Amino acid sequence: MKKFLMIAVLFALLVALLPASLVSAQSAGEDYTVQADDSLSKLADKFFGDINAYWAIMSATNQANAEDPSYVKIENPDIIEVGSKLRIPTQEDAQAFMATFDPANADVGALFASGAGGQLLVGNWWTSGGEFAGVNEVYKIYRAEYPDVELIHAGIAGGAGTNFKGANLNKLIAGDPFDVFMLHAGLEAELYSPEKYLTPVDDILAEAGVLDVMPEDLKALLKIRGNTYTVPLNIHRGNVMWTNTRLLEQAGVAVPTNFEEFFAACDALKAKGIVPMAQGSTDGFEFGHLFEVVLAGTVGAEKNHGLWHGTVPWSDPSVTQALENYSKMLDCTNEDRGTVNWVGAIKLVINDQAAFNIMGDWAYGEVINDKATDHVTWNSPPGNQGMFFLVSDGFAITKEAPNPENARNFVKIITRKDAQEAFNQNKGSICARTDCDYNTFPADRQEYFKGSAADFATNTIVPMVTHGSGAIPTWQQQFGDIVTKFASDRDAQAAQNAFILAAEDAGFPQQ
């Protein structure tokens, strides 16, 4: 299995409990060659009587690797290859390390050596195959240009940053920040008290000359009280209906364009024993994402804008209709949606187990990674024609970054055309620059990227609330909570009343 730095390694992270002390070691302070059936936790138990002390072995081995490459560099503690050379620390060193190491605080820097140029801690939530494939292309560029810097991919699993955001905020408050961290362009920056914890990047964007080739809609999203805190890397389209062409052909079903056609297709697919639509929920954002797409498809772009800007009340009958459409759509989904996340949902389409999945084009990264472009294609969700739901990923520099120059160099790289082209052809998104050449992308992907770029230039742009672009964080959270509750109880009146109250709390009085 290919090794990669996935500190969703900070997996155990959020659940590991550290003992007060370590028991006596049977042997210590020695080199060790990995044998069949070894794991770091087994070795930690063998040498220290504590399975959690594998962190100390990982750190000691990586420190040794910095001086002597005959020692393996451990990027993922779940994966150590037979024959690899490890450094087992002394009991005293292991105890000292574990006494200060806090995995629950994403203390990932302690697990790696520093290069001559220091470290670069990149906080993010890109841990799936398609996500990592994209960002790793940027890492390759950075490592080639700054070989003396130890770049650390501090990834915390959880779609849309479900787990990352809280961990990141805790690190900022504790004064132990990442150097750079991922966030969505737009109002999501408000979550991190930007004037207090983040560094404005207006000068970097100006020096890079990227403002001349950045879409106006994106530039408008980036400004927070006159400053820009996010360097954008891409533009995702949030409203895509991923479609398995083999299953539609098998069932004799055409791609639906409106809700009436969708529900007819749902019935036809069910009659053939095919799950009409794949849906997940365990990452916490999926229900809200789907309803936001259904809402816009029901009420239209103009009313949708008005709902989020206070000119259309949430008591409008079209919102009631949107809730009804959403409820009927959930009836077309897999019964185990409560145990599946967004990656699992698109995998159902990839693996011929469901016909549709409504998700942003980060799902295309999974289609690409799984080599499924021959039978998984894309369409507009019902009623969404002419709308482009804008979701942009970028990076911010923390004000107290441990390695500020390394951080600046990283965000400078992601402004560049070569970095954005390398990243986006794997991630499934288009560039945050208008001058990328999609003809240079792999042939089987060009159609989507060219089409997406063309749609972005001509469609109505809809900043996506679920992903931090279209509403303040508190309104975004309330919206998600209301939709999640409705997905369970299907009480449309209660949900609509809750929307009305939430809009008033966000500063939009309802008529």
3-state secondary structure 412-462: HHHCCHHHHHHHHHHHCCEECCCCCCHHHCCHHHHHHHHHHHHHHHHCEEE
3-state class of 68 per DSSP? coil
pLDDT tens sequence across 286-335: 999 999 999 999 999 999 999 999 999 999 999 999 999 999 999 999 99
| Residue 184 burial by Cβ neighbours in a 10 Å radius (0-12, 13-18, 19+) | buried
| Beta carbons of 392 and 463 less than 8 angstroms apart | no
Q: Of 26-30, 247-251, 259-263, 418-422, where does mean pLDDT reach its minimum? A: 26-30
Query: Thinking of the domain 7-112, which architecture would CATH place it in?
Result: Roll (3.10)
Report, in angstroms and rounded to the nearest whole number, the Rg of the chain calculated over CA atoms: 24
H-helix or E-strand spanning residue 100: helix 91-100
- The topology (CATH level 3) of 131-237+391-463 is D-Maltodextrin-Binding Protein; domain 2 (3.40.190)
Element of type H or E holding 143: helix 129-145
**pLDDT surpasses 50 at 24:** no
Q: Which token pair is 232?
A: 């954008």
Mean pLDDT (whole number) for 253-267: 98
pLDDT, position 5: 38
Contact 215, 235 (CB under 8 A): yes
For residues 299-308, one letter each, b for 16 or more C-beta atoms within 10 angstroms of the residue's C-beta and e for the rest, the string is: bbbebbbbbb
Query: If 0-12 CB within 10 Å is exposed, 13-18 middle and 19+ buried, where does residue 415 land?
Result: buried
Distance, in Å, from the CA atom of 221 to the CA atom of 219, rounded to the nearest integer, reads 5
User: Residue 363, SS3?
Assistant: helix
- Residues 329-370: tens digit of each pLDDT: 999 999 999 999 999 999 999 999 999 999 999 999 999 999
Domain 7-112 and domain 240-390+464-505 have a common topology: no
Taken as a whole, the chain contains a residue count of 511
pLDDT above 50 for 142: yes
Residue ranges covered by each domain of the chain: 7-112, 131-237+391-463, 240-390+464-505
Burial class from Cβ neighbours inside 10 Å (0-12, 13-18, 19+) for residue 192 reads: buried
Architecture of the domain whose range is 240-390+464-505:
3-Layer(aba) Sandwich (3.40)
Q: State the pLDDT at residue 383.
A: 98
Q: Each residue of 351-361: pLDDT tens digit? A: 999 999 999 99
Query: Hey, is 284 helix, strand or coil?
Result: coil
Least confident segment among 17-21, 234-238, 473-477: 17-21
Q: What global pTM score does this model have?
A: 0.88
Q: Are 124 and 181 in contact (CB under 8 A)?
A: yes
Per-residue model confidence (pLDDT) at position 16: 34
What confidence tier does 106 reach under pLDDT thresholds 50, 70, 90?
confident
